[in-house]
Amino acid sequence: MPSIKLRAKALEGGLIEVKALMTHPMETGLRKDSAGELVPAHFISEVIVTANDKEVMKANWGGSISKNPYMAFTYKGAVGDKLKLTWKDTKGGTDSGELVVA
Amino acid sequence: MSRLTIAGLVTSALLAGVAFAAEEPNADAYREMTYGDRDANPALLVIDRGEELFKEKRGPKNVSLEQCDFGLGAGVLKGAYAQLPRYFKDTDRVQDAESRLLTCMTELQGFTVEELTKQTFANDKRNEDNTDLEALTVYIAAQSDGMKINAPAEHPKEQEAIKVGEGIFWRRQGPLDFACATCHADDKKRIRLQNLGNFSKAGVDVQKTMSAWPTYRVSHAAVRTMQHRMWDCMWQMRLPDAQYGSPMTVALIAYLNAQGKDGTYALPGMSR
C-alpha cells in the first residue's frame, strides 16, 4: 500500500507546487493507553524532498504534527523534474514516494 | 492606579466580548480556510487502502468484493452510493451502503456478521487507524463524488423506511428525553462554531451534511461514516449503542437523504 500521496503542479513564474500526504500514527509520547501507560513517541522527525537528486525542501518535525500529516510547498523548478520525498521517524522507520512533475 | 488599569481592561474586554457575540460568526469562511484544499484530506490515504481491500481476494471464500451489487448491478460502484439507501430484492429490505457492505462480505466472502462488527469504528482515543469497514465505505462513497443525492423512494419499503426515519427523527426518547429534532429542527442553531443544521426541512442544511459524509474528522484523525454519525448521535442522546447497519439507522439515513435530495456530493469530506 502506498503510504505517501504525492502531487505536483506547475504554477506561473516557474514555480512548482508540491503537495504530500503521509500515513503515520504520529504518536506524541504524551498519550496514555487504556492501562494508563505512556505510549512511546513515534513521529516523523525529518522530511526531505529532492528534485533531480537536489534537495529542495527539508523539514524537521516534532510530536505536535498531526496524524497522517499533510505538507505543501513551492520551489523553483520545471515540468519533468523527478521528485522524491523521503521521511524518517523516531523509531528508525523510513518511507519514500516518487513523482515526475507533469 | 494599576487596579484602575486592570478594571479598565476588564471592562473593554467585556465590551469587546459583547460586540463579538452579537456578530454572526462566519463559519463557512473558517471552514474554507481550514478544510478548503481537497488535496489536503488524509481520507485520500484511507480511500487508497479501501480500494485495495475492495479488490483483494479475502475471507473464507477468498473472493474480492468486485461482484458486490450496491444497487446499480454487480460491480458497479460509480454513482451507487448516491442512490442509497434502497430496497434490495435478495435481502428483502432497505439497505444503506454499510449494511449492504456487510451483506456482500458475508454472502460473497464468507465472513460472519459477528466477526465483521466486533469493532466497526476506529477508536480515536487510542489513535487507531480506520477499520476495514470504514476504509471500504469511504472508497465506495467516493465513487459518487460530484453526483447528486438521489436515493429512490418508489418501492413501498423505501417509502416505509423514510416514514419510519421521520418518526424516529421526531421521537423523544431515553434518559434525557431527547430527539434528533431537539438539535436539528431549528434554523441557525449551533454549538460554539459548529452549525447543527435544520434537518426537519428539505434544503441546503441537510444537503450540506449528507453530501459531505463520509468525512475525515480532524479531531478523530480518522474517516467517519454515516453509520458512525448515527451511532455517535445516539450516544450523545444517551441511548443504547445503535447496531451497525440496523433498520433503525438505515431508516434515519433514508429520511435524511430524502430531505437532502439533489445535494451534490463532495467526497471525501473533511471537518473538525
pLDDT band at A2 (very low <50, low <70, confident <90, very high): low
Of all residues in chain B, the percent with pLDDT exceeding 90 is 82
Task: With beta carbons under 8 A apart, name residues in chain A contacting B44.
Answer: 5, 21
Interchain contact A92–B (C-beta under 8 A): no
User: CA Rg, chain B, in Å?
Assistant: 21
Interchain contact A10–B (C-beta under 8 A): no
Mean pLDDT of A55-76: 96
Domain boundaries, chain A: 4-100
Q: In terms of CA atoms, which chain B residue is nearest residue A33? A: B126
CB contact under 8 A, B40 and A33: no
For residue B126, give the nearest of A23, A33, A70 by CB distance.
A33
CATH number of A4-100: 2.60.40.10
Calpha distance B107→A43 (Å, rounded): 40
CB contact under 8 A, B52 and A34: no
pLDDT at residue B11, rounded to an integer: 47
Digit-coded pLDDT (tens) for A34-54: 899 999 999 999 999 999 999
Mean pLDDT of A62-70: 94
Query: In sequence order, what E strands does B192-235 have?
Result: 194-195, 215-217, 222-224
Please say if the pLDDT value at position B2 is more than 80.
Answer: no
Task: With beta carbons under 8 A apart, name residues in chain B contacting A34.
Answer: 126
CB contact under 8 A, B48 and A1: yes
Please say if the pLDDT value at position A66 is more than 50.
Answer: yes
pLDDT at residue B182, rounded to an integer: 95
Q: How many CA atoms lie within 13 A of B176 on its CB side?
A: 13
> Which strands form A94-100's sheet, in the order they lie side by side?
A54-60, A44-51, A82-89, A94-100
C-alpha grid cell for residue B266?
463532495
Interchain contact A66–B (C-beta under 8 A): yes
Domain boundaries, chain B: 29-271
pLDDT at residue B33, rounded to an integer: 84
Digit-coded pLDDT (tens) for B81-129: 999 999 999 999 999 999 999 999 999 999 999 999 999 999 998 999 9
pLDDT at residue B14, rounded to an integer: 47
From A1's Cα to the closest Cα of chain B, the distance in A is: 7
Helix B132-142 / helix B97-107 crossing angle, nearest 10 deg? 120
CB contact under 8 A, B49 and A1: yes
Task: With beta carbons under 8 A apart, name residues in chain B contacting A19.
Answer: 37, 39-40
Interchain contact A64–B (C-beta under 8 A): no
Q: Mutate one of A17, A70, A99 to test the B interface: name it (highest B CB count within 10 A).
A: A70
B183 as an active site residue: the answer is: no
User: Which chain B residues touch A if contact means CB-CB below 8 Å?
Assistant: 37, 39-42, 44-45, 48-49, 52, 126-127, 129, 218, 221
- State the pTM of this model: 0.89
Q: B107 exposed, middle or buried (CB, 10 Å; 0-12, 13-18, 19+)?
A: middle
Task: With beta carbons under 8 A apart, name residues in chain A contacting B39.
Answer: 7, 19, 21, 72
Q: Mutate one of A5, A22, A37 to test the B interface: name it (highest B CB count within 10 A).
A: A5
Q: B118 exposed, middle or buried (CB, 10 Å; 0-12, 13-18, 19+)?
A: exposed
Digit-coded pLDDT (tens) for B187-238: 988 888 788 999 999 999 999 999 999 999 999 999 999 999 999 999 999 9
pLDDT at residue B194, rounded to an integer: 81
Whether the Cβ atoms of residue B198 and residue B205 lie closer than 8 Å to each other:
yes
CB contact under 8 A, A1 and B37: no
pLDDT band at A70 (very low <50, low <70, confident <90, very high): very high
Digit-coded pLDDT (tens) for B34-53: 888 899 999 999 999 999 99
Q: Which of B21-25, B96-100, B178-182 has the lowest mean pLDDT?
A: B21-25
For chain B, what is the mean pLDDT? 91
- Could you tell me how many CB contacts below 8 A there are between chain A and chain B? 39
From B32's Cα to the closest Cα of chain A, the distance in A is: 16
Q: Domain spanning B29-271: which CATH class is it, in words?
A: mainly alpha
Digit-coded pLDDT (tens) for B240-255: 999 999 999 999 999 9
Calpha distance B138→A95 (Å, rounded): 25
